[in-house]
Structure 1
Amino acid sequence: MDYMVFESINNLSETFSFLNPFMKFLAGGAEYLFYAAVIIYWFTRTVKNRRMIFIAVISAAVALAISMLLGDIFYRDRPFVTHQVFQLVPHAMNASFPSDHATASFAIATSIWLFRRKEGRVWLILAAAISFSRVWVGVHYPLDVICGMLNGVLCVLIVTLIFAAWLPAQKFMGTIFKIYNNIEQSIWAKKG
């Protein structure tokens, strides 16, 4: 079933080839929009944004660690290794399951959505587009991106609950913010 859905999506790259440059961008370059978002939101210097990005980064790191573990336990070859596919982007022949792109993009997008609903919707749509494009270009099966998405979203929800309800986690975040703010202030003081 997973391969049948993969094949129908991947075959779109031949039927609608005019979309291939956009899908290649989504599959390989759109992740940089998430990196830019992390930097921009952090440097807007509001407590809400910094808390959001702190949760996003911790969640993405945890989710990617889980993804690596799942990839080792449930190793699965990429589609282009075992099938004839329309592979539009080069990729190493490493574990296909789960998708790291889906994992990280959904972790960050979900974090943004929890703190900033309107903007978060846009980031969730972008994360979904990235995930879909990874199937389109032939480097992931649909189940890979679905599991990556679930991993990213669940990690954000759990990390958010931990930092909302557990006092040691709140103190840890407060300490990190205090250290960072002291460093930032000393840098600005030297420049001023």
Structure 2
Amino acid sequence: MSFLTRYDEDRSRPPFLAALRDAAVRALLPSVLVFAAVVGIGLLIVGPLHRLGTAENGVNRWFASWRTPLWNEVTHWMSTIGNTEYVIGVGVLVALLVWWRTREWWFAVVPLIAISLQATWFVLAAWIVGRPRPEVEKLDPAPPTSSYPSGHVGASSALYFSFALMATRIGNPVLRRLAVLVGAVVPFVVTFARLYRGMHHVSDVVVGMLNGIGCVLLSWNYLRREPRGSGH
């Protein structure tokens, strides 16, 4: 069965408890490995590789050097896309819309699973690693020791990359390409904004995005599916 078309090849309705078990076994448990990788990389960065932070501060200073009032305002809105309340609100709204259009709740919950996993591991990793933020003026309020990994980038990656995968099922080719493009681009928009606004080091946003991507892949694959003709 193709990874991308798994929800088209088997559109049967799973029992709720079976889907819940699949989510635990096929998404939650494997995502612990994603969490371990995120924490492991973070501890290396603040430990043996601490000089990396010095080098990365140069990138942040470069971004800060060409700030303008216009870009300060633009990046404010670009950064807002990754806010927790925004991500949750958009995720729930789209999940309800997809459920209404497809009548497939097990498909509609994919982005909600992804952002839930990402948020859980982000909060724990930020607490364990406790990396200070870049040594530049910050344009957003935030706790001083939660730079790693980027929660904004992780959340937007989990949400919008999920949307990009879901959009591959849209029948209209123009709308499908547009939806996939938007889903693929938005996390990079948030990444740029967080670096510009001095909120994260480069490695923070890179690992934040990888955290989101890992959770997306596990969430998309959370439900056992069988190809047509397999007797499912």
- TM-score w.r.t. the length of structure 2 is 0.61
Deviates more, 1:157-166 or 1:60-69: 157-166
- After superposition, the C-alpha distances for 1:88-142 in whole angstroms (9 at most, x for unaligned) are 2222324110011111110011111112142132122122111210111111111
- Alignment RMSD (CA, Å): 2.5
CA distance in 1 between counterparts of 2:57 and 2:191 reads: 16
8 Å Cα contact 1:99-1:145 kept in structure 2: yes
Q: Which residue of 2 aligns with 1:169?
A: none
Deviates more, 1:48-57 or 1:18-27: 48-57
Runs of 4+ in structure 1 off by over 3 angstroms are 48-53
Q: CA 1:30 to 1:101, structure 2 compared with 1: closer, same or farther past 3 Å? A: closer
CA distance in 2 between counterparts of 1:9 and 1:111 reads: 29
Q: Which residue of 2 aligns with 1:2?
A: 56
Q: CA 1:24 to 1:49, structure 2 compared with 1: closer, same or farther past 3 Å? A: farther
8 Å Cα contact 1:41-1:49 kept in structure 2: no
Kindly state the Cα deviation for residue 46 of structure 1 after the two structures are TM-superposed.
2.1
CA distance in 2 between counterparts of 1:144 and 1:158 reads: 21
Q: When the two structures are aligned, how many residues end up with a matched partner? A: 160
- TM-score w.r.t. the length of structure 1 is 0.72
By relative contact order (CA 8 Å, sep 6+), the higher-ranking structure is 2
CA distance in 2 between counterparts of 1:48 and 1:125 reads: 28
Q: CA 1:53 to 1:107, structure 2 compared with 1: closer, same or farther past 3 Å? A: farther
- Taking the TM superposition and a 5 Å limit, the aligned residue runs for 1:13-32 are 13=67, 16-28=68-80, 31=83, 32=86
The structure whose residues are more often helix, as a share, is 1
In structure 2, the gaps of 5 or more residues are 1-54, 169-176, 227-232
8 Å Cα contact 1:98-1:148 kept in structure 2: yes
Is residue 122 of structure 1 aligned with residue 122 of structure 2? Answer: no
Deviates more, 1:64-73 or 1:45-54: 45-54
In structure 1, the gaps of 5 or more residues are 167-192
Kindly state the Cα deviation for residue 64 of structure 1 after the two structures are TM-superposed.
1.2
AA partner of residue 27 (structure 1): S
- After superposition, the C-alpha distances for 1:158-187 in whole angstroms (9 at most, x for unaligned) are 122222459xxxxxxxxxxxxxxxxxxxxx
